[in-house]
Structure 1
Amino acid sequence: MPNDMSNTPAESDTENVGNSVSSAIVIGAGLGGLSAAMRLGAKGYRVTVLDRLDLPGGRGSSITRGGHRFDLGPTIVTVPQELRSLWKVCGRDFDKDVDLREINPFYEIRWPDGSKFTVTGSTEEMRAEVARLSPGDVAGYDKFLKDSEKRYWFGFENLGRRSMHELWELIKVLPTFGMLRADKSVVAHARSRVRDPRLQMALSFHPLFIGGDPMNVTSMYILVSYLEKEYGVHYAMGGVAAIAKAMANVVEDQGGSVRLGTEVDEILVENGRAAGVRMADGEVLKADLVVSNSDPGFTYDHLLRNHRRKRWTTQKLKKSRWSMGLFVWYFGTKGTRSMWKDVPQHTILSGPRYEGLLNDIFIKGKLADDMSLYVHRPSLIDPSCAPEGDDTFYALSPVPHLGHDNGVNWAEMAQSYRQKVLENLEEHLLPGLGEHLTEEVIFTPETFRSRYLSPLGAGFSVEPRIFQSAWFRPHNVSEEVEGLYLVGAGTHPGAGVPGVISTALVMDTLVPPAPRPMPAS
């Protein structure tokens, strides 16, 4: 990273981060905030990005222990043209800055009965996989793919690329929502197309990767099946953290700055307009516009705590439904690179219950004894993440967030739950795992609350139910404060790497170019 990316505070208590007509502050160096900073820089703004962590990337950053690099958040990239378009706006070539590798097969799903389902980018291979599990479901699978494609073009390429902050924008698309049966859940739609319970799970679990309950999230999200097939699944060498570092480099090449290890305490408002920020140490930074990549709940309830809010009040935020929490066990293993040869880079271990487990996680708030796991093994493709001959893993289990009445005490439960995850992995995927463990890190919903300031420790902010999507979701342009914009998983169009990158694209359509050209850096 360039040398000016630092946590050194300004010399004075009050600093104007740019000239008086073209400065912008971005709170948070997650992928949404960095995307916003790049787009603002391309428009002529001098941008300052502020983040409390020691590396850029937010949830897409990493931790290194004993030679193992643990990628903390997203592990795959889909719709890579979103990143290439972002770089092009900035006059850069994404593929010169980031080494992106296509993965095929995409991932493997394993069930307790020993059956497997391998997901690839080939329609014919996928039809053969469906036929192998349930020959009578091939025709239904074909219909599901057509359904998925329709929802992709409407939900991602249409709604996902324009602001939904005006009610009229919602009213205009209601007939299409009705025609596409957006009122049905993802699970209900999968049931209507295939009969085999395993295939119903395989075609409906994707909302979990953006924090949604497949039993209740709108069927618009079946678009992911088409998105994966059409554009593939990719891995960035060096992890998503490498993308974040490349983004920060672009911001600084544009004349902006990225200040790490520094925390914003409040968004300053003057005459109803965002005027800058006050840092936790009392330093004041002035700017002409502010973009928040913090969770909308934290932005409105904390960063704007001294400003009267009309829509996103504390009470409204308390009534919102938040995504589930995450238990993530990052671990390294010694001398295992040539072991477990049937274990791919991405594996879904489905538990003995699907719908019952979802109900425990999202509705009852119960930490169940059984679990489903997503297991990532990046060392198969990226030797840089582990010592030679060793492996780096991450096992993720969806769990309840911290807001349920019977909330989990993770200080007491973390180690016992980690033991259950270990036993599950040894039985179903990685026999003998315990004998090879070296480094490890555990994240619980408590970690998400303290590290990312995530309300209720939710893994993906506001849950993407139908009445918490599009116009109902926190808008990219704030209705509370003029000159304040929001990006990231909790805003429109939503979570996931393509969604988060798109929040900055939507914001970009709302922000005017800088009033006058910036001098050359």
Structure 2
Amino acid sequence: MTRLDADFTPARANAVVIGAGLGGLASAMRLGARGYRVTVIDRLDVPGGRGSAIWKGGHRFDLGPTIVTVPQIFKELWAACGRQFHAEVDLRPLDPFYEIRWPDGSRFTARQDTDAMIDEVRRLSPGDVEGYKRFLKDSEDRYWFGFEDLGRRSMHKLRDLIEVLPRFAMLRADRSVYAHAARRVKDERLRMALSFHPLFIGGDPFNVTSMYILVSHLEKEFGVHYAMGGVAEMARVMGEVIKSQGGMMRMGTEVDEITVRDGRATGVRLKGGEFLRSQVVVSNADAGFTYDRLLRNTPRKRWTPARLKRSRWSMGLYVWYFGTKGTAGMWKDVGHHTILNGPRYKGLVRDIFIKGKVSDDMSLYVHRPSVTDPSCAPKGDDTFYVLSPVPHLGHDNPADWSKIGAAYRARMVKILDEQLIPGFAERITEQETFTPDTFRDRYLTPYGTGFSIEPRILQSAWFRPHNVSEEVKGLYLTGAGTHPGAGLPGVISSAEVLSQLVPDPEYVASDLKVAAE
């Protein structure tokens, strides 16, 4: 047997979690509740990862996810730690969820009430009402199979995939989200409204499996919510739970490498040389970064650099955060969430995902949290973020955002001024811009992607990086790049799946004690 270092003490098994994103925090909470001594390490100064925030001049800019769906998975997470979610996080339901606007002036308002949604469909396209009702039933069927079944259990064994292939075939998982919407409704605006959701998790609606229409059921069944204080506040509370369990949060600290001996993870080496021994290592870093950089000195059989390079990655994001002075009572028809469509849907998506081309036109997601949460802006002011999907940096001739960023934002200003919030630019007081370069440098995401590996059918479930590493024993993965995928429900579920796979701490400690003797 290999002799472990003399300072090894098996009294309480250690778990190191790399990354304080929501998946890493949820994993740490679950492992801490099971008795592990958990250390969470993150290079940022605050927890939350993509769900963190920055503060400027009294404005809080929520950097990433802005909505909470399927709140019961958070309730279950808190309950696993002996706590009550709603006692610690103030979750507010939104009504309406969001409004979609098209260049021709037409609008579609998404709500939870079924009758209200049918009225919206009838207003836009009376002939599509029955098709919409069928679409709702389709999305519910895929929810029970895709989310409650596959999404909440491990898919790391090939037989797991083989067992569900007949169900995949019956639900036509080979068909894209857009293709499925197109079979149910004829109006192109409705086809967009029922198919754009994969963009929220980094997927091309014209190529991502139709299983993802389940999002429509998530919204209608459980509602769309906003966490007061933003997702960053939820992340802060999660960090406090971890510390109350005896865990440690080491912020402003970067992991350089996952150390491996005899095919088993032994801990992590930090930038600067410090070594932290651990019986369990959980990586909430991007799956591509985990295998390509953190395991760079470990031979890999499946997730090799060549395999990662061949993978299809989610799009990049251009995000403009800004605060406006004295506008709280202005633009009364602009709510919490607005989607402004450009003149093209399929063509723009193709430019972003397939051609890797920054287009002259754009579609925008506008987040105005100050209409729900006044704490994110000084009194009487507003806080916004405006997001535009753009190509990631891995295409041929990637965009140089240092050169084109100013012109891109100028086009964004023109669209916003003409279609949504006239006169806003002269009232801006604080601002910050994130490009794919920022995502690459801040979050260490390959190619500056917003959501890791794209969730196409051959990059989902068993085909996705597994929650238990197929390369190194004792290494587990959580977050957007692993099963079941991106989005808050996905990353929180990845922690639930991971917890099912990690052995009890008593077993891990006794097993390694035998190895040391």
TM range (shorter): over 0.9
Please say if residues 322 and 462 of structure 1, whose CA atoms lie closer than 8 Å, have aligned partners that are also in contact.
yes
Task: Give the structure 1 partner of residue 114 of structure 2.
Answer: 123
Q: 2-side partners of 1:326 and 1:18: how far apart? A: 45
Corresponding residue for 1:360?
351
**Is 1:413 the equivalent of 2:404?**
yes
Alignment correspondent of 1:472: 463
Q: Does 1:185 align with 2:173?
A: no
Once the two structures are superposed, residues 77-136 of structure 1 have per-residue CA deviations (whole angstroms, 9 ceiling, x without a partner) of 000001010000000011111111111110000000000000000110000000000000
The residue aligned with 1:57 is: 48
In structure 2, the CA distance between the partners of 1:270 and 1:406, relative to structure 1 (3 Å rule), is: same
Residue in structure 1 matched with residue 32 of structure 2 by the alignment:
41
Distance in 2 of aligned mates of 1:56 and 1:515: 29
3-state SS in 1 of match to 2:415: helix
Question: Take 2:8 and 2:413, find their aligned partners in 1: how far apart are those partners?
Answer: 49
**Is 1:155 the equivalent of 2:146?**
yes
2:167 to 170, 176, 182: 176
* Alignment check: 8 A CA contact 2:392 2:447 kept: yes
Any conservation in 2 of the 1:44–1:517 contact (CA below 8 Å)? no
Deviation of the 1:20 alpha carbon: 5.5
**TM value normalised by structure 1:** 0.96
Q: Distance in 2 between matches of 1:455 and 1:144?
A: 35
Displacement of 1:186: 0.4
Distance 1:345 1:161 in 2: 30
Residue 60 of structure 1 deviates from its aligned partner by 0.3
In 1, Cα distance between equivalents of 2:394 and 2:120: 40
Q: Does 1:322 align with 2:313?
A: yes
- Alpha-carbon contact 1:170-1:471 (below 8 Å) kept: yes
Are 2:332 and 1:336 equivalent residues in the alignment?
A: no
**Structure 2 counterpart SS, 1:275:** strand
Partners of 2:129 and 2:437 in 1: how far apart? 43
The separation in 2 between residues aligned to 1:430 and 1:209, in whole angstroms, is 23
- Taking the aligned partners of 1:185 and 1:15, their CA distance within structure 2 comes to 56
Equivalent position SS for 2:145: helix
- Please list the CA deviations of residues 428-487 of structure 1 after superposition, one character each: whole Å capped at 9, or x if unmatched: 100111111110000000000000000000100000000000000000000100000000
User: Would you say the 8 A contact 1:16–1:287 is kept in 2?
Assistant: no
Match of 1:88 among 79, 94, 104: 79
**Aligned residue number for residue 280 of structure 1:** 271
2:479 is equivalent to residue 481 of structure 1: no
Partner of 2:514: none
- Which residue identity lines up with residue 108 of structure 1 in the other structure? E
Q: Secondary structure at the match of 1:403?
A: coil
In 2, the alpha carbon distance for the partners of 1:437 and 1:510 equals: 49
Distance 2:268 2:425 in 1: 48
Aligned length: 505
**TM-aligned CA distance change 1:508 to 1:360, over 3 Å:** same
Q: Equivalent of 1:393, from 364, 380, 384?
A: 384
- The answer on 1:236 being equivalent to 2:224 is no
- Residue 4 (structure 1) aligns with: none
Decide whether the 8 Å contact of 2:202 with 2:451 is kept in 1. yes
* Counterpart code for 1:205: F
2:515 match: none
- Match of residue 461, structure 1, among 452, 463, 470: 452
Question: Given the superposition, is the C-alpha separation of residues 179 and 147 from structure 1 closer, same or farther in structure 2, using an over 3 Å criterion?
Answer: same
The SS at the match of 1:83 is helix
Runs of 4+ in 1 over 3 A off after TM superposition: 14-21
* Counterpart secondary structure, 2:167: helix
Does the 8 A contact of 1:20 with 1:288 survive in 2?
no
Among 89, 93, 96, the residue aligned to 1:102: 93
1:134 to 125, 136, 142: 125
**Aligned partners of 2:279 and 2:508 also within 8 Å:** no
Once the two structures are TM-superposed, the CA of residue 270 in structure 1 deviates from its matched residue by 1.2
SS in 2 for 1:95: helix
Q: CA separation in 2, counterparts of 1:435 and 1:268?
A: 53
Q: Which residue of 1 aligns with 2:216?
A: 225
Residue of structure 1 equivalent to 2:502: 511
Partner of residue 202, structure 1: 193
Distance in 1, matches of 2:392 and 2:59, equals 28
Question: What root-mean-square deviation, in Å, do the aligned CA atoms of Structure 1 and Structure 2 show?
Answer: 1.4
Q: Does 1:250 align with 2:262?
A: no
The one-letter amino acid paired with 1:273 is R
Separation in 2 of the partners of 1:474 and 1:227?
Answer: 25
Match of 2:47, SS?
Answer: coil
Partner of 2:340: 349
Equivalent position amino acid for 1:255 in 2: G
C-alpha distance after superposition, 1:337-388 (max 9, x if no partner): 0000000100000111000000000000000010000000000011110000
Residue 17 of structure 1 deviates from its aligned partner by 10
CA distance in 2, matches of 1:359, 1:201: 14
Q: CA deviation at 1:406?
A: 2.1
8 A Cα contact 1:17 1:23, kept in partner:
no
| Paired residue secondary structure (2:140) | helix
Structure 2 unpaired stretches of 5+: 510-517
- CA deviation digits over 1:134-176, x for unaligned, max 9? 0000000000000000000000000001100000000000000
What's the CA shift for 1:514?
1.2
2: CA distance, partners of 1:61 / 1:17: 35
Q: Secondary structure at the match of 2:370?
A: helix
Partner of 1:290: 281
Q: Distance in 2 between matches of 1:400 and 1:495?
A: 18
Matching residue within 500, 503, 515 for 2:491: 500
- 1:264 and 2:263 equivalent? no
Q: Structure 2 CA distance, aligned partners of 1:366 and 1:330?
A: 23
Change (3 A) 1:180 1:517: closer
Distance 1:113 1:15, change over 3 A: farther
One-letter identity of the residue aligned with 1:279: L
1:421-436 equivalent positions in 2, closer than 5 A = 421-436=412-427
1:171 maps to amino acid: I
